[in-house]
A = this chain, B = another copy of it.
């Protein structure tokens, strides 16, 4: 991804391996500060995933893969267990761990296996961009939710990848980015990526997406996903379900962009996906300062499930699939 810095534009990934360490952009400090953290232990990698220094299903998978490459000799199983305990919803986390363990069993080094896993993800995202760009016509206004950009996926992004490719193909379009409370990944991360890429956009309160849909100002919705089941149900950042229902009600195509690592063919439908409930403080506080009354309580589910009936299609590295195609994948 392009990153504009005071000293010029750089090309960066959000997660990579360098000098024997797992490196990642500390996403909680964006957009204010671009800081790279370099982690040398499995525990530090696990904490970075748990505390959301790195987030986004494919990026979590990549961080876990390199996290395994930090395991001490003979401790790969223990490292895998620790990394698997970090976050429950994203499929990619478990897929990455399984991939590296299987490759090591087959004789590969953990680092080679992690590298291979990550390159596969990056290549998949690039192809998602190419496949999805065809959906974007000149003059389109596109809504996205949360951040499913390069930050969330090592590079290119999932939902944002088609927009990057459409931009490179000189298409004219406009992006509405839901700010995505409670953690504001849309305002803080997606807007940062869009500014870096020079894509016209507006951040909106999550509440405003329906207004723009009903007023005919949104032509297409693309989001990412954290886990997609055999029938096409998709868990993604809380609020995605709301946008899918609103798109359906307003006859606006709603697409999910995700690589194969996000599909979980072991689950029949979305009811089986574990949903993470996070701290009340993410809702009751803003930037560490309490906004709700003393004594007020909160609920804070981190994800919701969008039933397949609201999804127009799944933009993958193998093309744009329909729900009925998913079960055929494995």
Contact = CB atoms under 8 A, between A and B. Distances in A.
Interface residues of A, number: 54
B299 A204 contact: yes
A61 interface: no
Given A296-B194, A296-B195, A283 B187 contact: yes
B291 A188 contact: yes
A300 B208 contact: yes
Contacts of A246: 242, 245-246
A31 interface: yes
Contacts of A207: 180-182, 206, 237-239, 242, 304
Contacts of A300: 204-205, 208
A143 to B, nearest CB: 12
Nearest to A271: B215
A25 to B, nearest CB: 14
A191 interface: yes
Contacts of A298: 202-204
Interface string A182-221: 1010011001101110000111111111111010000000
A289 B212 CA distance: 26
A263 interface: no
Contact of A210 (B182, B208, B239, B249): B239
Given A203-B284, A207-B239, A179 B176 contact: no
Interface string A281-320: 0011011010111111111110011000000000000000
Nearest to A180: B207
Interface in A23-48: 30-31
A16 interface: no
A224 to B, nearest CB: 15
Interface in A244-298: 245-246, 249, 283-284, 286-287, 289, 291-298
A284 B31 CA distance: 12
23 contacts: A31-B292, A31-B293, A179-B292, A181-B207, A182-B205, A184-B286, A188-B292, A191-B292, A191-B293, A192-B293, A195-B293, A195-B294, A196-B293, A205-B206, A205-B238, A207-B237, A208-B299, A211-B238, A212-B301, A214-B241, A214-B305, A245-B245, A246-B246
Given A210-B241, A212-B299, A286-B286, 5 more contacts: A176-B299, A181-B206, A184-B286, A204-B300, A286-B287
Closest 9 CB pairs of A and B: A207-B239, A31-B293, A191-B296, A192-B293, A210-B242, A211-B304, A202-B299, A181-B205, A195-B295
